[in-house]
Amino acid sequence: MHVSIDSAVDELAHLPFPIPHECATVGDAVGAHVAWPAQFVVIQDEKPQKKKIVDHRNKIGLSSSVPRSLHLLYCYCKRALTDEQNLSLAFDHDLFDESSELFLHLEDIIPFYSLDPISANCIVVYMWHLNKKMKEDNMTDMFRFVNPHTIPYMPYVSKLYRNAKIEHLNERASVLAERLSVASTNQLVLVPHNVGYHWILTVIDPYKEMVYLLDSLSHRNRYNDWKYVVDMSVRLFNSNKERKGKKQAIWEVVKGPRQPDLKQCGFYVMRFMREMIEKNATGEKNSISSIFMKNEYSKEEIDEVRSEWAECIQDYIYE
Q: Are 195 and 226 in contact, with CB atoms under 8 Å apart?
A: yes
Per-residue confidence (pLDDT) for residue 15, from 0 to 100: 83
pLDDT of 80 above 70: yes
Distance separating alpha carbons of residues 35 and 4, to the nearest angstrom: 9
Q: Rg of the Cα trace of the chain?
A: 20
Confidence class for position 82, pLDDT limits 50, 70, 90:
confident
Task: Identify the residue with better confidence: 254 or 48.
Answer: 254
Q: Three-class SS string for the chain?
A: CEEECCCCCCCCCEEEEEECCCEEECCCCCCCEEECCHHHCCCCCCCCCHHHCCCHHHCCCCCCCCCHHHHHHHHHHHHHCCCCCCEEEEECHHHHCCCEEEEECHHHHHHHHHCCCCCHHHHHHHHHHHHHHHHHCCCCCCEEECCHHHCCCCCCCCHHHHHHHHHHHHHHHHHHHHHHHCCCCCCEEEEEEECCCCEEEEEEECCCCEEEEECCCCCCCCCHHHHHHHHHHHHHHHHHCCCCCCCCCEEEEECCCCCCCCCCHHHHHHHHHHHHHHHHHCCCCCCHHHHCCCCCCCHHHHHHHHHHHHHHHHHHHHC
Q: Specify the fold of 60-318.
A: Adenoviral Proteinase; Chain (3.40.395)
Q: Are 214 and 220 in contact, with CB atoms under 8 Å apart?
A: no
Domain ranges for the chain, please list them: 1-53, 60-318
pLDDT tens-digit series, residues 158-169? 555 677 788 889
Q: Are 142 and 93 in contact, with CB atoms under 8 Å apart?
A: no
Distance separating alpha carbons of residues 201 and 270, to the nearest angstrom: 9
Distance separating alpha carbons of residues 200 and 213, to the nearest angstrom: 8
- CA 225, 229, 267, 89 torsion: positive or negative? negative
pLDDT tens-digit series, residues 94-123? 899 988 899 999 999 999 999 999 999 999
The CB density around residue 235, as the number of other CB atoms within 10 Å, is 18
Region 170-186: what's the mean pLDDT? Answer: 95
pLDDT of 41 above 60: yes
